Structure 1
C-alpha cells in the first residue's frame, strides 16, 4: 500500500480533495478515516457521492485503517481525516507518515488562526508538536500548487 498523500481536512471529500489532490498525486483510492462517520450511513452516502468517478473509496475506523494501510495491496492511496488526533492515533498503531498535509481546519470558539485556512486550539498544537517530534513533516497547503508552509514554524 502506498500512501501518496495524507490530508487533514474537516470537509473530508470536496472539490479540491476529489479532483486537485487526487489528480496531482495520481491516486486510485481515497481512504477516509473517521471513527464517527464509519457508523453514520447518511455521511457515508454523502462521501460516496462526493468521491470522483474512477477512484475507489474506503471509509474506515482508526482500528480498521491501521490494519488496512499496512496491507500489501498494490494501491496508491489518498488518506483524508478530519482531525490531527486521528493521525496521532494511526501513528500510535504503527502507521508511518513521512508528511501530512494540513488543509481545512476552520474557526471554532477557542481556536487561533495560524494560516489562512488553519485554526488550532492548544490540544491540537500539542498533537502537531508530538507528530513533528516523531519526524512527521507538517505541510500546510490549501491546493497542491500552493507554497508549502511548515506548520512547526507557526506553532
Structure 2
C-alpha cells in the first residue's frame, strides 16, 4: 500500500477555485498535496495556497523529497489525496523516484517565451514534451481536462498532431 492517489494534476496555478472544489468533490479526497520545491520554500505562497483550499479538505505544500517520504510511509496508506504539480518535469522526477501513477491530468500550463500553445490552457516547450514522452513511455495516461465533466483529450495525440502541423 501507499498513498491513495485519486488524482495527479499538472496546473501551474496549483490550488484555485476550480481545482479545489470541483475536482476534490469528483475524486473524493480529504487532502491536497502540492509537490513543488519553490512553493514549499515560500511562506507567503504556502499561506495563499492553503487559503484557496476548501474548509473540508486539508492541504500541504511540500517538497518533492517530502512527497517521496510520505509516499513510502505506511502511516499515510489510507490518505485519499490529490497531487498537484507545476510541471511535467516535477511529475517525471517523482515517478522515476518510485511514486506510482497510472494517470496524470493536465489542467493548465501557461504560455511563456519559448512555449507553443497546444490548447487554450496548455503551452509546452521541448523540455515539457520530452518529460511527457518519458511519462507516456512508462504507460502513464496523460489526459487533458479542465473539469471532470470535460471529455478526456489524449495529450500525446495532440502533441503528435502539433508536430505534424509545425515541422
Q: TM-score range by the shorter chain?
A: over 0.9
CA RMSD of aligned residues (A): 0.8
1:114 maps onto 2:132 in alignment = no
Match of 2:44 among 22, 39, 42: 42
1:67 matched to which residue of 2? Answer: 69
> Which segments of 5 or more consecutive residues in structure 2 lack a partner in the other structure?
160-167
Aligned length: 155
TM-score (structure 2 length as normaliser): 0.90
- Structure 2: how far apart are the matches of 1:15 and 1:120? 24
TM-score (structure 1 length as normaliser): 0.97
Deviations 1:57-108 (A, max 9, x none): 1211011101112333211101101111110110111001000000110111
CA contact (8 A) 2:33 2:59 kept: yes
> Which segments of 5 or more consecutive residues in structure 1 lack a partner in the other structure?
none
Deviations 1:10-45 (A, max 9, x none): 000001111000010010000000011111100011
Larger CA Rg, structure 1 vs 2: 2
